A and B are shown apart, each in its own frame.
Chain A
Amino acid sequence: MAAGTFAPTLLVMSSFDQPTEFSAILKKRLTDLSVENLTELIMNVPVLSSRILPPDNQDRRDDHIIYYGHHRPLSEGTLDNLARFLARDEGIHGVLDALNQLQRAIVRVTAWRDGSATMAELIDETGATKEEINAAIQGVLATFLADETDQASPHPDENESSSVSSSNIIPIRTPNTDGPHVSKPKRLAVFTLHPSVSHRVELPGVSAQRFHARSYKSQLQDILKRLGNPQRDNVKHAELLSLLVQSLSSAETVKRSIDSVSQETRDAIETLRDGKPRRIKDFTNDYYSPFNYGRYFQPKGILKEFIECGIVGLCDQSQSVWLWLESIVALNDGRLFRPVDTSLATLATQPFDPGASMSRIPAAERHARTILEAWKQKPPTALADASLGVKPIRDVAKQLGITAERAGLLANLLKEIDLIAAVTASQTGKGRNTKYTYEYRNTDASSAWQSISPLERWKSLVVSWVFATSFDEAEGLPERIQSGAYYRAELRSLRRYVLDKLLSLSESECVDATRFAQSMQYLLPAQLQTDTVATMLEIMRYLGLIYEDRGDVVALTQAGRALLLGKDIDLSSLDSQFVLQADHTIVASPHSDSELISTLERYAEVESTAGAHIYRISEERIAREIASGATAEDVIGFFSTHSNTPVPQNVEYLVRDVAKRSGCIQAGSAGSYLVSEDAAQFARVLAVKPAQLTQVAPTVAVSPLSFEQLESALQKKGIFLPAQESPTLIPLAKSQNSVKVDGPIVIDISEAQLAVEALCKREESTSTSSTDLRTRALEAALARVEQHYLAHHTESDE
């Protein structure tokens, strides 16, 4: 959006000394705004967007990521919140930071000229046209800073302002007559800042007027004396200050001062003309102190000349030196700035053909998963402060074939989403000497994240970037994870601001990347440097929000646009084919649909993801899938649907083999079992339906019921079981000497258990030690049981 196109809506800041009252006025103003105007206001003041609460019952990260107030009426609470925020220092500075370069220049010039400036002065300083200045002023007014009670007709002498129409609501008022401005002659202005705003405006240098507002009179007199002014007694502080400002603003005085110093000092003053304070150390090793000059602290050389020339400011605390802004302006023939390039205010668009190859899940999603996998196998060791150093990030970058910065970005995003976290790996020593080592491990959330759809995973990465506070693009892309790092929350607003500017382009438009960064710097000079924007664009390219392969132009991808607008994302053109070969390898494109890759990974093991994905079909994985309900046809069907080449016959066989083997062994739980060798009795027992007996062998049946339930079910049908002696063996009759039993087989439980133990022993060791009494006892028991059965079978056969 171009600067200066705000609707002429006026916010009033009448008094910063009474924030409560002021916020009430602001709230009324905000409430009166139309939804469109409110949206525009929030769009253009990024800091406001972070103050908007999400709509009710909505997780904020699920909403559009541009901002939450997008074309919707805000709740009472949100408006209240905004008004309170705007009434505070933080809010005012936030608004000032939202001014573009021209507006900023206008505000600075105005603040510099005691809060009011004429059109001629503004044109002279900024180099912009009258129309541009008018539009910029409208933009400033739309946000804040004017008092409608101060509006007046332009003074007839101010020719330049005569063209400003009253409908533009340009407030004209006399400057505030309080305070240090007292000696300033009254004059009419085209633009006036509220005095409370005025002193919040950052100037491009150190102003003596502001700096010395609270200095002692003796200090002021001292400087005035050095500047060649005669000593005056009984003069008010304000008068002295005014005199000082006048002297420092006089080109003649300043030049005289400069002429009075040595060439070395003159050169130093020349370097200070940019207005930035510098370290005294850059010029001399002497230490500056305004007081207690004793024998040991006699200033000399360049430092002495700095002090004595009067046009240079010095600070003992920071040991810094600067040329007063007043003097700089005097040397610049009364100008504060170089002209502003207003052409940057608009985004110069070019036609753009998005082409057909769109809407792929960007590689970043896959890379993020690979990092999680890699670190799951081998968690990287953290540094002593629980940060993650560059080495593990470079290692994983090498594995992925991406730059360390991209891997670092992903690592930070994974941490932002809480998918990885530093945990204590070990602890040595005690008390104060305890030393901890940390490593980064996947959190419980990581498996849940991996189970959501690739699209959702990608969305979560994008959203986590927009909300990230663990790194700052102003410092470039992170190549490590800094533990506990928390950067300014405004970053979120700035990212959304840049995204929103891109969203303002149509699908058939793009902008030059360098020019875009410059425009962003023009629009938000206080917060967006061109390098910062370039880094943001690099991130957007990697995350697939803007095209990666379109050279130096910037345009949102279809998926990126859809995500920002909260629309459905079309994934139809993703690569969903692979090549399946008879050596059981599968080669899939590096741009494969992540859904496809996820399914593939259920049947095959990754051999390489160093570009194209290479897999090897895994019997174990297929077996696992089949065990969890898939059929051989499902697996083969998947292969034949997605393979560019016919499914090799041996692969088909492999799948069918695995499926055939699956289910050969089945396990379940049984409550009790029943043994009977009497066929008739056994059949009778089996017929008792409530007993839920299933015959598993000619003489054995099992039931899911517990022994007691089984017993009760059978008793109801007149079948009585002998008392249970073991929780696992249920004999149908007590041991009897007679083998002639009427009914089921007779087993002596204690004998049987001993026999089983003996059998186990035999398995363990084939050579039984003759001295092992226990073993011999077991063997004897086994022999008895064997005899018992032999007798029984013999007699039965007879």
Chain B
Amino acid sequence: MKFAKVALGLIAALALQTTLGGLAIRGTAALDLVLIVVVYVALTSGPVVGLLAGSAAGLVQDALSSGVLGMGGLAKTIVGFAVGVLGTQFIVTAPFPRFVVFVLATVLHAAIFMGLYVLLGLREFSEPYAAVLGQAVANGLVGVVAAQLVELLPGSLQRRRSGRPLKR
């Protein structure tokens, strides 16, 4: 069940990413919805699920993009594991800590991703700090909101469902 939820979340994120891709917030880099899902899954499910989710999502993302297969997968694997470990060591349920985690995860992901490309001499990234920071903040905001929605939406729906007969 958990695996299905994770898979469903990733597929949804990929679908959104591919359809709503290129979302830019005032000139900053696009949102990485897949990364947001990976971070959230890792936070809630631990390092093993986090690294597996990151690995799978990253590979699929790489396969769907024109990049080198494995770059995103490796970056998201490490991020998923790191965030999963963080989630097991600290209580990260409040919005702000989650925001911080999303920001840090994005920065880490960007560092690994860009670092690998630079290391292999495949791409050059000139002054990426602002773009990375913008993406991190955006991911953090979207991630916190999304996480709140995911966690609060089922409960409110259930309450709404259970409240209708009473109103009737």
Q: Are A and B subunits of one complex?
A: no
Chain B interfacial positions (CB closer than 8 Å to A): none
Chain A interfacial positions (CB closer than 8 Å to B): none
